[in-house]
């Protein structure tokens, strides 16, 4: 079966067959008409984004980078080298409490799978001193900030299969 996106009413025939309500069609070739053009593309997009997030493929993080010329470009090159796709990027200068030559960059990017996301987390935490994967970590069952703090989460734990880390 190919993958199709249809509204619920448009898939009623398929649902009846899969539920076993039409035993007379068992072991026969059947043509089904899948219809329904009432799909709200905005809601579909939200569903896809939530699915990617649940799979660990949509990552949201913030990083404090150099605000000198090329600082954000360096971050983007690093993301490209890891092989993730940037979906959204925003930089903030006014609300940062670090030095005047730093910028907070918020990024949403897409990876191939959870392992690829873990690779990204490791590379970023090795390169930058302040990286926060808060929302991503929460969606994956983590409650920890990746930064050089006393409660630093060792990214190697991710590679060892640790899926939960609760630090107070």
Kindly list the domain boundaries of the chain, sorted by start residue: 57-159
**DSSP assignment of the chain, as one string?**
-------GGGGHHHHHHHTT--GGGTTS------------HHHHHHHHHHHHHHTT-EEEEEEEEE-STTHHHHHHHHHHHHT-EEEEEEEESTT--S-TTEEEEEEEEE-SSHHHHHHHHHHHHHH-S-EE-HHHHHHTT-B---SSSTTPPPTHHHHTT----B--
Overall pTM surpassing 0.75 (yes/no): no
The fold adopted by the segment(s) 57-159 is Alpha-Beta Plaits (3.30.70)
Q: pLDDT per residue over 136-151, tens digit each?
A: 656 565 544 333 433 3
pLDDT score of 135: 65
Mutual orientation of helices 114-127 and 71-82 as an angle, nearest 10°?
Answer: 150
Across residues 65-71, what is the average pLDDT?
A: 94
Lowest mean pLDDT among 88-92, 136-140, 154-158: 154-158
């Amino acid at each position: 079966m190919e993958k199709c996106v249809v509204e619920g009413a448009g898939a009623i025939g398929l649902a009846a067959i899969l539920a076993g309500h039409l035993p007379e069609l068992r072991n026969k070739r059947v043509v089904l008409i899948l219809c329904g053009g009432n799909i709200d593309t905005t809601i579909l997009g939200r569903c896809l984004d939530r699915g990617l997030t649940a799979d660990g493929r949509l990552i949201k993080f913030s990083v404090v980078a150099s605000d000198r010329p090329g600082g954000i470009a360096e971050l983007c090159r690093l993301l490209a080298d890891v092989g993730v796709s940037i979906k959204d990027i925003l930089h903030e200068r006014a609300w940062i409490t670090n030095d005047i030559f730093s910028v907070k960059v918020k990024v949403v990017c897409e990876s191939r799978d959870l392992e690829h996301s873990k690779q990204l987390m490791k590379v970023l935490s090795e390169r930058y001193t302040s990286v926060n994967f808060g929302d991503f970590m929460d969606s994956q069952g983590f409650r920890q900030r990746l930064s050089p703090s006393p409660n630093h989460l060792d990214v190697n734990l991710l590679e060892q299969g640790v899926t939960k880390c609760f630090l107070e």
